[in-house]
Amino acid sequence: MPLVPMRQILEEAAKGGYGVGAFNVNNMEQIQSIMQAADACNSPVIIQASRGALKYSDLIFLEKLMEAAAIKYPHIKTAMHLDHGNSVATVKTAIELGFTSVMIDASLLEDGKTVASYEYNVETSRAAADLAHQTGVTVEAELGALGGIEDGHGAGIAADDTTHLTDPEQAVDFVQRTQCDCLALAIGTSHGAYKTLRYDKDGNPLPPKLALDRIEVIAKKLADAGYPAFPLVMHGSSSVPKDLVDIVNRYGGKMPNAMGIPLQDIQFGIARGVRKINVDTDGRIAITGAIRKVFAEHPEKFDPRDYLKPAREAHQKVVEERMRAFGSAGRNDDYKPMTLAEAKAKWYAGAPAGVK
Ligand code: G3H
Ligand code: 13P
Ligand code: ZN
User: What separation in Å is there between the alpha carbon of 297 and the centre of ligand 3?
Assistant: 34
Q: How many CB atoms lie within 10 A of CB 193?
A: 19
pLDDT in tens, 226-244: 999 999 999 999 999 999 9
Tell me the whole-structure pTM to 2 decimals: 0.96
Report residue 350's pLDDT band, with 50, 70 and 90 as the boundaries. confident
Q: Region 273-280: what's the mean pLDDT?
A: 98
Q: What is the pLDDT of residue 148?
A: 59
Q: What is the pLDDT of residue 159?
A: 65
User: What separation in Å is there between the alpha carbon of 235 and the centre of ligand 3?
Assistant: 4
Q: Give buried/exposed letters for 55-64 (b at 16+ CB in 10 A, else e).
A: eebebeebbe
Q: What is the pLDDT of residue 1?
A: 59
Q: Are 247 and 227 in contact (CB under 8 A)?
A: no
State the virtual CA torsion across 122, 123, 124, 126 in degrees, nearest 10: 80
CA-proximal residue: ligand 1, atom 5 (nearest): 50
CA-proximal residue: ligand 1, atom 8 (nearest): 151
Q: Candidates 25, 30, 50, 142: which one to mutate for ligand 1, based on the most atoms within 8 Å of Cβ?
A: 50
Q: What is the pLDDT of residue 248?
A: 98
Question: Does ligand 2 lie within 6 Å of residue 179's CB atom?
Answer: no
Question: Does ligand 2 lie within 6 Å of residue 293's CB atom?
Answer: no
Question: Does ligand 2 lie within 6 Å of residue 281's CB atom?
Answer: yes
Nearest ligand to the C-alpha atom of residue 193: 2
Nearest by Cα to 174 from 91, 117, 115: 117
**Which atom of ligand 2 sits closest to the CA of residue 283?**
4
Determine the angle formed by the axes of helices 304-326 and 263-270, rounding to 10 degrees: 50
Residue 83 is a catalytic residue? yes
Model confidence at 354: pLDDT above 60: no
Q: Candidates 83, 102, 104, 146: which one to mutate for ligand 1, based on the most atoms within 8 Å of Cβ?
A: 83
Nearest by Cα to 132 from 91, 85, 184, 179: 91
**Which atom of ligand 1 sits closest to the CA of residue 280?**
4
Residue among 83, 130, 265, 280 flagged as catalytic = 83
Model confidence at 70: pLDDT above 90: yes
Nearest ligand to the C-alpha atom of residue 150: 1
Q: How many CB atoms lie within 10 A of CB 167?
A: 14
Whole-number mean pLDDT of the chain?
95
β-pairing, 198-199 with 205-206? antiparallel
Q: Are 140 and 183 in contact (CB under 8 A)?
A: yes
Q: What is the pLDDT of residue 355?
A: 45
Nearest by Cα to 27 from 10, 46, 8, 52: 52
Nearest ligand to the C-alpha atom of residue 191: 2
User: What separation in Å is there between the alpha carbon of 242 and the centre of ligand 2?
Assistant: 17
Q: Region 329-343: what's the mean pLDDT?
A: 98
Model confidence at 21: pLDDT above 80: yes
Determine the angle formed by the axes of helices 281-297 and 28-41, rounding to 10 degrees: 110
Model confidence at 8: pLDDT above 60: yes
Domain positions in the chain are 6-347
pLDDT in tens, 125-172: 999 999 999 999 999 999 998 865 545 556 777 666 677 899 999 999
User: What separation in Å is there between the alpha carbon of 148 and the centre of ligand 3?
Assistant: 10
Model confidence at 294: pLDDT above 90: yes
Please give the share of the chain, as a percent, with pLDDT higher than 90: 91
| Non-local CB neighbours of 242 within 8 Å, separated by 6+ positions | none
Q: What is the pLDDT of residue 351?
A: 67
Fold type of domain 6-347? TIM Barrel (3.20.20)
Q: Region 72-81: what's the mean pLDDT?
A: 98
CA atoms within a 13 Å half-sphere pointing along the CA-CB vector of 95: 22
Report residue 326's pLDDT band, with 50, 70 and 90 as the boundaries. very high
| Non-local CB neighbours of 184 within 8 Å, separated by 6+ positions | 103, 105, 140, 141, 142, 143, 232, 233, 234, 235
